[in-house]
Amino acid sequence: MSFGRLARRDAAPPMSDINMTPLIDVMLVLLVIFLVAAPLMGAALRLDLPTSTQAEPAPAEGTQRLAIDAEGRLFWNDQALAPAALTAQLKALGRAQPQAEVQLSADRAVPYGTVATWIDALQGAGLSRVAFVTAPQGASSP
């Protein structure tokens, strides 16, 4: 009786190609997460507004926003501006739309003199419709 040997198969050669599909899937998921989260990171302007029980929110359609934060930085429609650039922006708006409403948001820590200076600048630019923004009573501070 003779014993035969079974034919041996050679081992499979190592795979030299990288499967890109999982890498692309992970990359696309990370891209979507970044696209959703990026606008939320820098859009929040933190102001500690004074509170009021009688103020009612006004519609913000067609209004311009001027904000002064606790450090005295100026924001025109949520974009930081230097005082000279803001003055030029106010004058341009006063010439183009003298009836435009400007909503003024000032942090509690901003001195009254600073707020009064910018109210004067608004009136000097020909903008007389100024609304003061307050937080509703009981709103939490940021």
Q: Structurally, how many domains does the chain consist of? A: 1
Give the whole-angstrom CA distance, residue 64 versus residue 133. Answer: 12
Q: Is residue 123 part of a domain?
A: yes
Q: Is residue 26 part of a domain?
A: no
| CB-count burial class (<10 Å; 0-12, 13-18, 19+) for 19 | exposed
96: domain range? Answer: 51-136
CATH at 116: 3.30.420.270
pLDDT digits (tens, 9 = 90+) for 60-78: 567 889 999 988 899 998 8
Q: Is residue 73 part of a domain?
A: yes
Pairing of strands 101-106, 64-68: parallel
Model-wide pTM > 0.85: no
Better-predicted residue by pLDDT, 32 or 135: 32
pLDDT above 60 for 142: no
